[in-house]
Amino acid sequence: MKNKIVNWNINIAESIAYKENICLTPEHWEIIYLLRELYGKFNTLPNMKILINIIRERYGEKKGNSMYIYHLFPQEPIKKAAIIAGINYTDVCL
């Protein structure tokens, strides 16, 4: 399977987000870059529980919860964030 992360840039991310009715803020970019970092390191995406724990460790309690993620990326947050980040969503760690 081709690794989509290579064919990505900020303009592509903004275009995808626009189609998803998401206006990217610095908070969105934190999650997008975090997912890209994790995918680059592990060649898979974390599940929601693991992602929340990583966000909590990195950005604190206020951001390290599912409500925060759902606020940024409503309806299937990992899937939407991954697609915007240029990552193949099928590569999720269960």
pTM of the entire predicted model: 0.88
Higher pLDDT, 3 or 69: 69
Per-residue tokens: 10 = 């900020």
DSSP per residue over 19-37, as a string? HTT----HHHHHHHHHHHH
The per-residue pLDDT for range 32-87, each reduced to its tens digit, is 999 999 999 998 899 999 999 999 999 999 999 999 999 999 989 999 999 999 99
23 is catalytic: no
Q: Looking at residue 91, what is its pLDDT?
A: 52
Question: Cα(57)–Cα(82) distance, rounded to whole angstroms?
Answer: 20
Q: Which residue among 12, 48, 50, 93 is the active-site one? A: 93
Residues in CB range of 94: below 8 A, 6 or more apart? 47
Q: Looking at residue 85, what is its pLDDT?
A: 96
Question: Cα(87)–Cα(35) distance, rounded to whole angstroms?
Answer: 8
For residue 26, pLDDT beyond 90: yes
